[in-house]
Chain A
């Protein structure tokens, strides 16, 4: 089974600054999707950003961007101009295309935004 590793249990960032959350994954597949999800305290998990493995261009969504390094199996999330509302648990997830519809999640990184 694929594994997703988030090595930073907790991170903090000053408001308006930039922070990068790390994620690595292990797979032998060449076709897959990677995701970052955000889970605010006591609220529902929402999709932040998605990256298709076949695309070399890094995905961006407003203040959120990724650094996708396919050979290194690395998928980091950069949050620019951090806002108080960015404080949440962030999960990296992997979805295999050949192997069905299972999503594999990392253990999460808790992000604190300091005013």
Chain B
């Protein structure tokens, strides 16, 4: 899937700061961060519509999203915790059809030492 690119693909961290990056080439106006722990469904973390943060789920404050433009999404993580080990997916959609189809990237697998 080259329509939504995420980097890095794998990340191993101690208690450090890092940013995950995502870019979508679909012309969508809504972008999302999802967290997927092992053998669990994706859980919505953040949602951006036209660069505006619409919904911020109950997520630890060490996760800070940023949307520099409508096609890019960042997730800044500070002082990671072992419970943060998971795969982080970026997704996008058209806002007026957001409930119909989400397009997901390949994800960033975060392993916390």
Is B truly associated with A?
no
